[in-house]
Amino acid sequence: MRETAYAKINLALHVRGRMPDGYHRIETIFAFAEAGDEIEAAPAGALELAVGGPFAASLAGEEDNLVARAARALSRRFGVGAGVRLTLDKRLPVAAGIGGGSADAAAALRLLSRWWRLDAEEAVLLELARGLGADIAACLGSRPARGEGRGDLLRPFADDRLAGAPVLLVNPGVPLSTAAVFRAWDGVDRGALAGWREGRNDLEPVARRLAPAVADVLDALKGASFARMSGSGATCFGLYASAADRDSAARSIAALRPQWWILATRLRA
């Protein structure tokens, strides 16, 4: 049994202030790509986790990653005694602003709910997701949503321009710590989020300082109809009028920057 951990995209991200618990109060529009990491479940006597794929090395030595924590949390909540072997095919770069770890944890919750035949209510899974991390609640549904609070207070979001839109994700191979980027935010509230096109990513200036390659990626995406950095970076995305335009841009960028990670996909409805 398999589940996709869909790549998360922040179409806009406004940071409104710091909260007493150390998190930041944000307003964001989440969208999700059709592609991402993959998790497979198989029978086992205990909870086991194996990691493979192009970015497996980035998780080497990580004894307690979010997938394992999500599995244990679900098992405790429902009193599951059965084991399971989870295999994570790590296809998305780590510390990249596209919710890799959060998407993996959310996918593990969805997968194990089916694997263990729990018939878990969405509210219960959301409670578990919020206890594991700020973005995991949005990643659980992996559908367009407006997020507030830590990003885990969600409302459905619909825009006919987004469903199935060709999108290109580009990362320059520079990991960016989410915590470090938020710490370096200047603390200025630049106003509420209205529409995603009219919005901004308040973390982009910080990310550009910490990883100047972000500016290079955005410059490479200048042919897109819309381009912006996602999350805390360094991944940026471009929306295109057609798959042909997207694929042409992907080929051009790959030829000029063969060391960059590039994913050509579409947005989920």
Q: Which two tokens stand for residue 186?
A: 């200047």
Q: Is residue 183 included in any domain, yes or no?
A: yes
Residue 227's beta-bridge partner residues? 238
Q: Which residues of the chain have pLDDT under 50?
A: none
Both 16 and 137 in a single domain? yes
| pLDDT confidence of residue 3 | 98
User: Is 222 considered catalytic here?
Assistant: no
Q: Is residue 96 included in any domain, yes or no?
A: yes
DSSP state of 93: P
Q: Is residue 161 included in any domain, yes or no?
A: no
Q: Which residues contact 58 (CB under 8 A, 6 or more apart)?
A: 90, 93, 94, 95, 175
| pLDDT confidence of residue 63 | 67
Residue 188 CB neighbour total at 10 angstroms: 9
Domain count, the chain: 2
Last residue of a domain, one of 156, 188, 221: 156
**Cβ contact 162:144 at 8 Å:** yes
* CATH at 108: 3.30.230.10
Both 73 and 173 in a single domain? no
| pLDDT confidence of residue 236 | 98
pLDDT tens digit sequence for 111-136: 999 999 998 999 999 999 999 999 99
Choosing from 135, 152, 202, 216, which is the catalytic residue?
A: 135
User: Is 135 considered catalytic here?
Assistant: yes
pLDDT tens digit sequence for 200-224: 999 999 999 999 999 999 999 999 9
Match 């969405």 to its residue by tokens: 122
Both 9 and 103 in a single domain? yes
**pTM assigned to the model:** 0.95
How far, in Å, are 96, 110, 148, 186, 261 from residue 181 at the CA level?
12, 30, 19, 10, 21
| pLDDT confidence of residue 203 | 98
